[in-house]
Amino acid sequence: MIDLNGQVMLVTGASSGIGKALAGMCSEAGAKVALTARRPDRLKETADRCTGETLALPGDLVEEDHRKRLADQCIQRWGRIDILINSAGMGMYGDFLSTTEALWRRLFEINLFSTVFLTKEVLPHMQAQNQGLIVNMASIGGLIAHSNNVTPYVASKHAVVGFSRGLAEDLKGTGIRVLAVCPHLTATEFFDVSPGAEEMAPQVEKYKSFMDSPEAVARGVINQLDSERLVVFPTEKPAKAYDKQRDL
Ligand SMILES: NC(=O)c1ccc[n+]([C@@H]2O[C@H](COP(=O)([O-])OP(=O)(O)OC[C@H]3O[C@@H](n4cnc5c(N)ncnc54)[C@H](OP(=O)(O)O)[C@@H]3O)[C@@H](O)[C@H]2O)c1
């Protein structure tokens, strides 16, 4: 397991769910954590619960200026970025023909492009250090179609896995690793705030008792930060689901 003591981390999606749990646990393990999400009050809550040094930087990851500011402020404060965790994201539920172009674009903006372009801001600093770790929060939906009526989400997360694979190949031998984390259903706000949430609610209710907690997912991620594999399953559930429905 990686020793997080003194490591500088930038965690997106830190106001809620998996990102929030990761920020808290990594801070407890001694990491210096920069946190970002749009809601400043919720970000402050996460920062207040952290035990070590933190930097709360609210903003919208879809905006280029914000992404640049994140990397700049980490460097200004700590002089390096060891680990980038791209956890911010959203879901989308609905029959394919009812999904609009605007929603597809909004989903890809946050799930794929914010991950891609924030990584582009951070990577040069990692290259200067000859060391770094990029953790992209994909999903079991990035490997298989885990449910129906989630086509845009599945497409966006397959793209996150594809981006991670390509980048990992490019960075071989540089000391910078890439992980694509693939959680299964996790009990977070995700199911309340994503477009189509109302329509999805009966299914969510049915699966509630089966969901992982964000803390279990965060623990699973932290335990596997030193993994040599590209795809990481944080708990047993997504690993089992993948074994059952692998479509090679
Ligand atoms: N929950 C699941 O079942 C599940 C399963 C597999 C994978 N995942 C993935 O895990 C990641 C975390 O999801 P979660 O379950 O923790 O969901 P969550 O509780 O809804 O958290 C999503 C986070 O993303 C942030 N965010 C969304 N849009 C943003 C934007 N435009 N700019 C900046 N921050 C933004 C939100 O903060 P603000 O609203 O404050 O901006 C929030 O902190 C996502 O990538 C998701 O796709 C989730």
Nearest to 135 by CA among 36, 227, 43, 15: 227
- Does the residue 1 lie in any domain? no
Say yes or no to pLDDT of 105 above 90: yes
Nearest to 190 by CA among 220, 159, 157, 163: 157
pLDDT band at 203 (very low <50, low <70, confident <90, very high): confident
Q: Is residue 89 within 8 Å of 136, Cβ to Cβ? A: no
Q: Whose CA is nearest to atom 8 of ligand 1?
A: 139
Number of domains in the chain: 1
**How many angstroms is it from 173 CA to the middle of ligand 1?**
31
Structural domain harbouring 176: 8-245
- Does the residue 2 lie in any domain? no
Q: Whose CA is nearest to atom 39 of ligand 1?
A: 38
Cβ atoms within 10 Å, residue 13: 27
- Does the residue 205 lie in any domain? yes
* Mean predicted lDDT score pLDDT of the chain: 96
Pocket perturbation via mutation, ligand 1, pick of 10, 11, 16 by most ligand atoms within 8 A of CB:
16
pLDDT band at 7 (very low <50, low <70, confident <90, very high): very high
CATH for 124: 3.40.50.720
- Does the residue 206 lie in any domain? yes
**How many angstroms is it from 129 CA to the middle of ligand 1?**
29
- Does the residue 160 lie in any domain? yes
Query: What pLDDT, on the 0 to 100 scale, is given for residue 147?
Result: 87
Residues 28-37 have a mean pLDDT of: 98
Residues 204-212 have a mean pLDDT of: 92
Residues 85-110 have a mean pLDDT of: 97
pLDDT tens for each residue of 119-176: 999 999 999 999 999 999 999 999 999 888 999 999 999 999 999 999 999 999 999 9
- Does the residue 118 lie in any domain? yes
Query: What pLDDT, on the 0 to 100 scale, is given for residue 2?
Result: 94
Residues 60-85 have a mean pLDDT of: 98
Ligand 1: residues with CB < 6 A are 13-19, 37-39, 42, 60-62, 87-90, 110, 137, 139, 183, 185-186, 188-190, 193, 214
- Does the residue 134 lie in any domain? yes
Query: What pLDDT, on the 0 to 100 scale, is given for residue 123?
Result: 98
Query: What pLDDT, on the 0 to 100 scale, is given for residue 191?
Result: 93
Least confident stretch, 107-116, 191-200, 228-237: 191-200
pLDDT band at 247 (very low <50, low <70, confident <90, very high): low
Say yes or no to pLDDT of 197 above 80: yes
pLDDT band at 248 (very low <50, low <70, confident <90, very high): low
Q: What angle do CA 59, 136, 98 make, to 5 degrees?
A: 75
**How many angstroms is it from 175 CA to the middle of ligand 1?**
28
Q: Whose CA is nearest to atom 18 of ligand 1?
A: 190
- Does the residue 41 lie in any domain? yes
pTM to 2 decimal places: 0.97
